[in-house]
Structure 1
Amino acid sequence: MLKKVVIIGPESTGKSTLCSQLATHFNSQWCPEYARQYLLENGKEYSFEDLLGIAKGQLELEDTYSRDLKAHRLEKPTPLFIDTDMYVMKVWCEFVFGKCHPFILEQIVERKYDLYLLCNTDLPWVEDELREYPDLESRQRLFHMYKDILVNQSTPWVEIGGRSEERLATAIAAVQEYVLA
């Protein structure tokens, strides 16, 4: 039985690292963020329409990882850790362009997940070629946008913060409580 755990939050909050650590801990897989691959291949400049293509690419990638795990004929609950979902795409669209594609909103309604892990901005900023918001104020604004979304939906969610070991321990406990119990 496939269970989907989504890790969301502003950039440079340890989402990919946490996905990898959780997949290793639970002997499972994690689905990377499609946007990173897209922007590395197509350049850092993007349009509102590009975000629709990125959203569709993310969904295709998630579906591929889901099919791969399901092909193992899972007899017990097995988590798939997903680095980014349509909530991230919604926030990205609205933060940068002030509007969101209807397709993204439709997918938010249609797709179901078992747990959200919201990464806080309490890690030091790590620069890379794709990141846009090094200032803490923007990162915290984005964090509160994600938190507002999660508070107003029905899927369980847990805030992840602290040092690396603490973040991982909190995430493992959340997965055990909400997904594998």
Structure 2
Amino acid sequence: MDKNIVKIAVVGPESTGKSTMATYLAEHYHTIWVPEYAREYCENLNREYTWQDELNMFYGQLELEEKLIPRANKLLICDTTFITIKIWSDHLFGRSPQEVLDELADHPYDLYLLLDIDMPWQDDPLRDFPDLREHFMAIWHRELQALNADYKVVSGLGAERHANAVGAIDQWLQSAAEK
């Protein structure tokens, strides 16, 4: 992995605009973004999630990121991270795969943008918990704090949300350059 690439993770509960934001940021910064592997994986799943599915999504997300990082232009924008696998596994199965836990500390991102739940819910066949957004937002805070992650909450709608994300990244980049 190229140590000169800044990795920005766009994370948060369901229906907070992560994919839209990742696409926007990649275009804004003239780089590429890593899509959420689980979305494509689950679109082809015609049954309930299993433990093995969580592991498959974990390995798939890691592989996709490693494959795309050489094409990044200084920044790599990641539409979620495998922390999502931990959160979903904990929720659905009461525990996380050891493989995921082992990788958390060894696979950091430079900055996490935690997208706020201030957007209206949008139905999608792959979204499951419209009534648990506050619950999952609290979990995201807890998980990022447990990693001692550098993260910013991004709120607002439309262009304001985009501007707030760009502002958070630009501020982080300026601060990193001054170190």
TM-score between the two structures when normalised by the length of structure 2: 0.91
Helix, strand or coil at the partner of 1:118: strand
Distance 1:34 1:44 in 2: 17
Distance 1:179 1:168 in 2: 16
Distance 2:138 2:47 in 1: 25
* Deviation of 1:44 (Å): 5.2
* Deviation of 1:42 (Å): 2.3
* Deviation of 1:169 (Å): 1.1
Distance 1:90 1:132 in 2: 16
* Deviation of 1:89 (Å): 1.2
* Deviation of 1:35 (Å): 0.5
Which deviations, in whole Å up to 9, do the C-alpha atoms of 1:59-97 show, x marking residues without a partner?
Answer: 10111111233xxxx6xxx11110111221111110111
Moved over 3 A (4+): none
Match of 1:9 in 2: 12
Distance 1:114 1:131 in 2: 28
Kindly report which structure 2 residues correspond to 1:138-157, keeping only aligned pairs within 5 A, or say none: 138-157=132-151
Q: Give the aligned residue type for 1:109.
A: A
Q: Identify which of 30, 38, 42 aligns with 2:41.
A: 38
Distance 1:96 1:17 in 2: 26
Q: Identify which of 93, 97, 121 aligns with 2:93.
A: 97
Match of 2:30 in 1: 27
Helix, strand or coil at the partner of 2:33: strand
Distance 2:52 2:129 in 1: 21
Aligned length: 172
Answer yes or no: is the 8 Å Cα contact 1:7–1:19 preserved in 2: yes
Q: Give the aligned residue type for 2:173.
A: V
* Deviation of 1:179 (Å): 3.2
- Identical aligned residues as a percent: 35
TM-score between the two structures when normalised by the length of structure 1: 0.90
After TM superposition, the structure 1 stretch with the greater mean CA deviation from structure 2, 11-20 or 168-177, is: 168-177
Q: Identify which of 132, 143, 148 aligns with 2:128.
A: 132
Helix, strand or coil at the partner of 2:113: strand
Answer yes or no: is the 8 Å Cα contact 1:9–1:119 preserved in 2: yes
Q: Identify which of 58, 67, 70 aligns with 2:70.
A: 67
Answer yes or no: is the 8 Å Cα contact 2:32–2:71 preserved in 1: no
Give the gaps of 5 or more residues in structure 2: none
Q: Identify which of 156, 165, 173 aligns with 1:171.
A: 165
